[in-house]
Amino acid sequence: MENAPAPTANALPPLKGLVVLGAVVVVVVAFIMLTALFGNQDAWAGFLFLTYWAGREEMKFAQLPMCAGGALCGLFMAYLLQVLPLQFGLAGLGIAVGVILAAVYCQIMGWFYTAVNVVTMLFLTVGAVPHIQKTGNFAAITLSLVLGILFFSGLVAALGLIQKRQTAS
């Protein structure tokens, strides 16, 4: 038991945890259905955004522009890795790698933080996975990301308004 993690101060009682789990399932299914309405099978991009924004940034709206901008920038660079070599061969690959190196330098220097940050590198890394590079449709992936940003931030905003009304009553 020495290696067991200590319970956190905000640990939920088991029954309340099951209620939260049920709510999570409803939200996940709703997002998958939303992306399916658009004929999109790349819901992972929206979920990856949510994972970072919720897990690392605790769904703080002040961090939403950084998370969204970084995710979009990272996907764009992954798209460049896919399309430029196809269009321009080795020169295209060189351009794509040059853009990525410039972005890494910007991150090291702390420049353009809204567009170039850890989220950028996360989405670039996933977007550069060989299977995604070979078969990925970056228009569909970007649509899933944008839907995820709008859906999850809208849901959090709506829940925040409901909570404000309940505490004001």
**Side chain identity at residue 122, one-letter code:** L
- Token readout for 31 is 């997002």
Tens of pLDDT, residues 24-75: 999 999 999 999 999 988 999 999 999 999 999 999 999 999 999 999 999 9
* Exposure class string for 16-54: b at 16+ Cβ within 10 A, else e: eeeeeeeeeeeeeeebeebbeeeebebbbbbbbbbebbe
d(CA 167, CA 127) in angstroms, rounded, equals 42
> Per-domain residue ranges for the chain?
15-168
Residue 4 pLDDT: 61
Angle between helices 138-168 and 14-37 (to 10 degrees): 140
Average pLDDT over all residues of the chain = 93
DSSP state of 6: P
